[in-house]
């Protein structure tokens, strides 16, 4: 399993200005987000299980990213 990033860590990286971008990937069951920071790209995970977080609705994911301060991203449907 690839290393993941959780919400708390993502929030701190955004506050520090370290996030270079986000890549939304459509897959069976919903939408995942890969966060780019430094030379690293990691999927956002559910905090407790460390499983990749899937958003069932695209609009929910876009709202989530906006709330934490990520306004630019690309989409791979």
Q: What is the pLDDT of residue 1?
A: 52
How far is Cα 43 from Cα 36, in angstroms, rounded to an integer?
9
Mind listing the pLDDT tens digit for each residue in 12-53? 999 999 999 999 999 999 999 999 998 999 999 998 888 999
**Model pTM score:** 0.89
- Residue 76: pLDDT band (50, 70, 90) is very high
């Amino acid at each position: 399993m690839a290393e993941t990033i959780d919400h708390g860590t993502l929030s701190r990286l955004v506050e520090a200005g370290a996030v270079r971008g986000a890549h939304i990937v459509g897959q069976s069951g919903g939408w995942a987000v890969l966060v780019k920071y430094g030379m690293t790209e990691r999927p956002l995970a559910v905090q407790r299980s460390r499983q990749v977080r899937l958003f069932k609705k695209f609009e929910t994911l876009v709202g989530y990213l906006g709330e934490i301060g990520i306004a630019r991203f690309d989409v791979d449907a």
